Amino acid sequence: MYVPTRMGCCVALAVAMALALPAVAQPPEFLSTAQVAPALIRTDSISGAYEVVHWGEAGLIFVASVPSFDKGSAGFIQVLDAATLAPIRQIQLPRRPFALALDRGTGRLYAGNTLDGSLTVIDARGGQVIDTIQLGQPEDEGVEHTRMIALDEARGLAFVTSPGRQGVVWIVDTRAGRLLHRIEGGLWTAGAAYDPAGRFYASGGGTEEISVIDASGQRIGALSTGDTTGTGEDDSRHFFVNLAIDTVGQRLFAADAETGTLHVFDIASGRSVAQVPTGPGTLDVAYNPARGEIYVSWRGVTRDEKAGTGGLTVIDAGDYSVKQRLSLPAHPNSLEVSADGRTLFVTVKAPHDKDHPDYRAGGLDSVLRLDLARLAAAN
């Protein structure tokens, strides 16, 4: 995924967000390289890696790849063996993909072309481009950007967020390949999570950080910390950049890029019931019901400190205690839990700031495969 700033539309990943890590009790020590090694397979082979999705039935993972931000340059989907991370094929796209979502029933892969404000529909087995669906409307010198995609496979719907100052959510009929609804409202609408019961959650900043939208396109509620009282952009106390959902326990997990914290919301009451400090540059969050764990990636940089490196925080989903911390230089990005809950896939960005001590011209991004049972045994 790309990282929008608080101002919404910037996609330059080297620009870090303003973050502050609150004072907390001493967290667990980082696992050593030797401790993590038995659980880890890593490939440093992707140019411009962003989101990753896993297709267990086919034994594949798909990685969005954007080697260049130059206008008119191509994008790619890198297809890797899910067990070994060995490359299988490369799919070239006419537009650059950042976000990915897979409809496992139809075998269709949806790529969010952030800078073009559109979706590309791809046959996941054969690699052919089936369709391109334009969502973003012209604004300033470009178009409204897309960000995250969440699918309702049963209803044939795709929910897509747009992180502008005026937040937008699009609902797409994936069977007909057409836009059904455009819902405006919210600030920096970035994160996305979907409950198959028919509720979509879109997160960002402002006084009501999380909007609740039903499958018919109606905004039916909101979840809020209550911390932000002013209506201006600079008043926002939080930026929930990504979401994950516990559909059984009816909880939302929100990655707060503004404070480096994971917020846990009880959906029924709409209240934030727990806050777990994770790390500076908190970005993605994934929930694993099979293991009762939450995973949070953090990039390790702030606006004032651009030379840091990030990691992964493993949280107990029962009592919200931090179980493990892993250092994953340089900048962990997107997370994907396998359907059986045994494996976590992570994309890791190489530094793009030339002042970063680990910067190397032409450096490639990474994909990691973590065996979660072996990782748990590393303590």
pLDDT digits (tens, 9 = 90+) for 319-360: 999 999 999 999 999 999 999 999 999 999 999 888 888 888
Inform me whether the pLDDT recorded for 2 exceeds 70.
Answer: no
CA-nearest of 168, 98, 108 to 137 is: 168
Q: Which helix (H) or strand (E) holds 357?
A: none
Nearest to 326 by CA among 17, 1, 33: 33
In a domain? residue 6: no
**CATH number of the domain residue 103 falls in:** 2.130.10.10
Contacts of 266 (CB under 8 A, 6+ apart): 250, 251, 273
Residue 111 has pLDDT above 90, yes or no: yes
For the cut 60, the answer to whether the pLDDT of residue 110 exceeds it is yes
Asked if the structure places residue 276 within a domain, the reply is yes
- Is 294 a member of any domain? yes
pLDDT digits (tens, 9 = 90+) for 209-244: 999 999 999 999 999 999 998 877 888 999 999 999
Closest Cα partner for 326 from 277, 370, 359, 286? 370
- The burial of 372, by beta-carbon neighbours within 10 Å (0-12 exposed, 13-18 middle, 19 or more buried), is given as buried
Sheet holding 311-316, edge to edge: 282-288, 293-298, 311-316, 322-327
Which residues are CB-neighbours of 350 under 8 A, at least 6 positions away?
330, 331, 358, 359, 360, 363, 364, 365, 366
Asked if residue 346 is part of any domain, the answer here is yes
Contacts of 276 (CB under 8 A, 6+ apart): 261, 262, 264, 296, 313, 315, 320, 322
pLDDT grade, residue 265 (50/70/90)? very high
Looking at the structure of the chain, the number of domains it has is: 1
Residue 36 lies in a domain: no
| Beta carbons within 10 angstroms of residue 35's beta carbon | 16
Burial class (CB in 10 A: 0-12, 13-18, 19+), 33: exposed
* In contact, 255 and 282? CB cutoff 8 Å: yes
- 169-178, 246-255, 301-310: which has the minimum mean pLDDT? 301-310
pTM: 0.93
Which whole number is the average pLDDT over 102-127?
97
DSSP type of residue 117: T
Domain boundaries, position 207? 42-376
For residue 3, what pLDDT is reported?
66
Distance from the first to the final alpha carbon of the chain? 30
Q: What is the rounded average pLDDT of the residues 60-84?
A: 96
Residue 303 lies in a domain: yes
* Average pLDDT value for residue range 7-29: 45
Tell me: cis bond preceding 192? Omega within 30 of 0 counts. no
